[in-house]
Structure 1
Amino acid sequence: MALWGKKKNRDTDPETRENKKKTGLLKRLWHKVRNIDWKDPVTRWKALFVALIGSVVIFGGGYGVISFTNSPSFCANCHEMAPEVSTFTASAHSEITCVQCHIKPGFVNMMTHKVISLKEVYHHVMGIPEQIVQTEHEAVSDENCLQCHSKNRLVTASKDLIVNHKGHIEEGVPCISCHSGVAHAKIAARGINTEEVRSHWTEDVAQQMMEQKYLAPNMGTCIDCHDKVNNGEKPWKDVAYLVPPNPEHLEEAEKEETKETKNAVKHEAGTEEEAAEAVKAHDEKTQALILEAVGKQTKDVKLSMACETCHQRVKVPENHRVENWNGNHGGTALQELDTCVDCHQDSKWFRDIPKEDLVSMLKMAEVEEENKEHKYTANINVVREQSRINKFCSACHGERPESHVESEVWLTAHADKAKTPETKAECLVCHDREEPKPDSTDVQAPTDVYCQYCHRTGFKDDVKK
């Protein structure tokens, strides 16, 4: 007995053989459906049973596919996702699924994302991108964060920072403007998830790369945004401010720039001068922000940049409160430089993260592991170098000391101030002995005044740096 009626003998029935020759498969199926007796209760029950089984297969299979593609194990199937998956596994968010962050809540958003994600399958088959980067259209939404986190928190988990999360959210500041590194330690911005280093990513490597300074917002994140607000801007309105630049977009921009300038004559000296001016302007701005952050604002600001405004535990150390600390802290810096740079380091004051080399970092980690018992010992050369390259130090060390009085007087009177190796070493904190070479990789002094500009015949008691 067939499902919809009596089964005919296809081999003996001449009518069936004739129809089989003359009609196609789809037409025969349509005839069968059209000839079904829907008034028959048994037929209706059979149709209901088939529909039920079909629904179970379709929706059950669809749910299974969606559940599988939502799991971190699915993402781990593609080797290009190794950096992202391993860092996610090592993060505090490892107990949730990828989609709980990367897809907005709701079935429509889920299905829309599945369709859009087909392009990732295309790239996986046709050519894997050099670097996996979260694009502007896929930035993590506040809706995802607020599924688990309360916006009413006023302090951080460490109870150090005073942060009005609700005020930030109501102002429109997205969560990822501060917390972009919480799951993947900003590996895209650091440039350590590219094709050439993906084979190096293991669970151990991920643990090494998940440093706290990349998981939590650094000082520069807060300062950069607050400074822009004080200048009347709302930088978070531009999604590009929140996510790393897409390498593909940068390549396209470079191509366009090449098209526009391929026939133009470039002046190398002018380009270098412009680059030098840009670096100088960046350094000056950084130093100005640092001075504001230690409470030395010279203008009215909407958001205070002083440390005590946000920090509860980080206070000015007692030894900094002595009279004339600004002029007498050199001895302390010499003896306790390692303690000084815990707070006074550039990386805490910059929002932008420099590109890194994963292979070199792994080698350095091995060396650091071998030398982890090494402790800082007083070294004037190390202090001198730090005072030059550390923007926090050079903010003041780059200025002319009050003791130098007028230039014409100081030029003929400073010999008595540089008679011993110790006093000469103090001079070399700011001044180079020989003329700095433009292409030199050595640390250069914060001033362009060097000793041999005048002392061209040498010195009686040379003190080498």
Structure 2
Amino acid sequence: MRKSAVVRRALKLAAAALLAAAFVASAPETALTQTDTPPVDLTGPIEPRNCVPCHASIGAAKAPGLIFSHASHLTVECSACHVATPHRDGKTTRPTMQTCFSCHGLVHGPSGLIASGDCRDCHTKDFTLRPASHVKDWKAKPHAVASKGNVNGCLLCHEPKKDCDECHAREKPEIGPMPSVYLRSVPIKPEEPSVLIDVDEPVTVGQCVFCHADINGIKPGRIIFTHDTHLKRAYKCATCHPKFPHQPQGTLLNAMQDCYRCHGLVHSDKGEVAPEKCDACHPKEFQLVPVNHTKKFLSGGHRDRARNEPTYCSMCHRSSACVKCHNGGVKMADGRTSRKVIPADHRKAQWRTDHGGKYLAQEGLCAVCHESASCTKCHQTTMPHPSNWLAAHSKQNGSLGKDCNVCHKDRRTCQECHHQDVRSVELVRENCVKCHPEMRTEPATKIKNAPLAEHAVHFDVAKKKGKPYLCSECHVGFGFSEVHVTSQLSGPHDLRACYDCHGALDVNRLQIAPWPGSELCRRCHTDLKI
């Protein structure tokens, strides 16, 4: 291949590359992220963008007796039929028949009939075509009064010559011939200031009142409810409506479980937040028993739902309702006799010790069978603890200490609070005996409480060291010493903390504290043969 041919080929490839690069550079950028739903303009032009956030499917009409689909009208602007804001003040404004006849039955020059004017093309067979206003003697005086001054509406259905003029010729009323055609007219939607709502924002009453002027207008039957009662308590709409209620897939209605976040809730000494009595929210004729509570459901079929969704059951049932049947010997809905139900883990020996921890960790379903009375048989302390327990338990003056130890084996949380005022004080008798009077005992080796004895034996260390110890020298936090590890081998004492000083040498290779090794143990345990 000649050199000139190679050069020409290289130039062509370079030109192609530059052209491709220019095309890519000039290509419009595409959106990589999905944008939020644009605000809905309630008074703006009637356009799909203002409808689809709530109406995902706007195909067939739901009006009875009407055969209609938006799909067959896609070439027509929405505002050609919707001459008024569709939703306002709790009412839905639909296009009238006069609006339909702007196209239906209209012959447009050589183009012919724009849309069918045949009644049965738009109305079902069972639909009564005669208007309700056309009473039995309508053709006499009533129709004359109704059409006086405006006969144009009559021509929607009636042919002037056949239906009007022939009769008028016989009856000879003092009127002239009827107009030959129906005069089509479409009102112009007046311009209004925009009323925008953002369906992605938290729900507020401002998003609702334009369409629902009476937000208390709940249809009677299932519930007794008014928004007014809740608004007076300054509840936020988003508390009950976490999402905008009107969604493309339909209207989101609150479930009964949503109501029970407040109804029946006892808020400490404030009492019941909202009533939980059935007749407070349901009318007398309402059937309270859910339709899914069949014989099978009541006779054991509810087990899985009760286990997986206990809040569903607890809305209506207390544990006494469960226990009565679960204790056995009760005739069930299907005629069988119930057997005693005891969970498998409750049969294990360690259950009495372990159940408190599971309750605190919210790992169990205690409330399904047990009420507070079940706890107080063993626990003197109020169970479960009320919300003000941290502030109120100090009034017990330590009388419930042993009871606390049943569940709270790790005392770090308690100690951090109880020792807050002595975090950096000196380890001397007067700083301890106020709360621990047994630490007055002398010699300190006779104190039966091992942890208290450990501290008390150091009260007089200032006589040898020249200054007392500070609590913060050993304690990073007041739950345990900084090296504490519970061990069956170490018993009540964690000797590793002791040997940090006893028998250890300081930087000058001088002994920090006497009694290394077993000598320290024999100081108190004189019976030890070590």
With a CA cutoff of 8 Å and minimum separation of 6, indicate the structure with the bigger relative contact order. Answer: 1
Larger radius of gyration: 2
Give me the TM-score of the superposition, normalised by structure 2.
Answer: 0.24
More helix by share: 1
